[in-house]
Amino acid sequence: MKFEVNGSEVFASTGGRPFDKSKPLIIFVHGSGLTHMTWVLQTRYFAFHGYSVLAIDMPGHGLSSGKSLKSIEEMADWVSDVIDSVGYKDASLVGHSQGCLVTMECAARNPKKIKTLSLMGGAGAIPMNPELLSLAENNDPKAVDLMMDWAHGPAGHFGGHPVPGLYHINTGGMLAKSRTIKSTLGVDFRACDNYKNGFEAAKKIKIPTLSILATGDKMCPVKEGKKLADLIEGSKVEIIDNCGHMMLLEEADRVLKVLKQFIVTNFPAQKIN
């Protein structure tokens, strides 16, 4: 669906069901340079099981208008504005990669508004490889190719997509190339590289939090994810083996299983906003 946030049009997938304000809201926040489509194997489940779902395209990404936001802090405030714009008082947040930094910062800034936090492939800081950052800022498609290479685990490189007929690396690559690389990936990578508040933000989070990490994640390795999780009070950690950074697609079913268990327990669907 399309709606306005701060005067700009935003697109969000509602997971194939009409947006229904009587149901609790889950917001999914994608990673650098990507779009709402990365969440298709998680969002539709929740939309069909009692939740209102918004898999948002960040400004300047996917089908959303406007320019990409330049800092994680701005993105965090924007996600909070999304909740207001759709008429909710609170929501559960799910983030992947850069989306983890955004949702974590948002949760730290809005302790009453954010009810649960689910982080996939997250870390307290995501410093960028200088070569990758430079390629992305110079609009070089090699940035996307490198990201797809590093983002997929050994098994993901062979394929075996959970949806018959889809090929992981080319699909992800095409998503990241759907808008101008430097204006999406380039801006996002710079925002990740500049963000230094992750560990401090983590210490402020007191809501139920789940970290899903993958043993083959070269971009946000398990030890970095655990370091972050240790700072979040009562944080739960789930590790997916034989999988890379794109766990939400590479091992969609296993990820959905742990996410489902966490959200249903801590943010039940029968809760009326």
* Residue of the chain from 3, 71, 134, 155 that contacts other proteins (CB under 8 A): 155
Burial string for 136-164 (b: 16+ CB within 10 Å, else e) reads: bbeebeebbebbbebbbbebbeeeebeee
CA distances from 79 to 45, 85, 113, 176 (A): 22, 10, 11, 21
* Residue of the chain from 112, 164, 270, 272 that contacts other proteins (CB under 8 A): 164
**H or E, element range at 28:** strand 25-29
Site for other proteins contains 13 (CB under 8 A): yes
| N-terminal to C-terminal alpha carbon distance within the chain | 20
Closest to other proteins by CB, 42 vs 80, is 42
Q: How far is the CB of 83 from other proteins (least distance, A)?
A: 22
Site for other proteins contains 10 (CB under 8 A): no
Q: How far is the CB of 237 from other proteins (least distance, A)?
A: 20
What number of other Cβ atoms are within 10 A of residue 265's Cβ? 12
Site for other proteins contains 223 (CB under 8 A): no
Site for other proteins contains 158 (CB under 8 A): yes
Contacts of 264 (CB under 8 A, 6+ apart): none
Which of these ranges, 142-150, 196-204, 230-238, 261-269, lies near other proteins under the rule CB under 8 A?
A: 142-150
Q: How far is the CB of 126 from other proteins (least distance, A)?
A: 5
For residues 171 to 210, the per-residue mask of contacts with other proteins, x marking binding by CB under 8 A and - elsewhere, is x--xx-xx----------x--x------------------
Q: Answer for the pair 48, 15: CB distance below 8 angstroms, yes or no.
A: yes
CA–CA separation, 118 vs 104, rounded Å? 9
- Three-state SS at 1: coil
Q: Answer for the pair 206, 111: CB distance below 8 angstroms, yes or no.
A: yes
Residues 87-126 that bind other proteins (CB under 8 A): 97, 126
Closest to other proteins by CB, 112 vs 165, is 165
Strands 8-13 and 52-56: antiparallel
Residues that bind other proteins (CB under 8 A): 11, 13, 16, 32, 35, 37, 40-41, 44-45, 48, 62-63, 97, 126-129, 131-132, 142, 145-150, 155, 157-167, 169-171, 174-175, 177-178, 189, 192, 218-220, 242, 252-253, 256
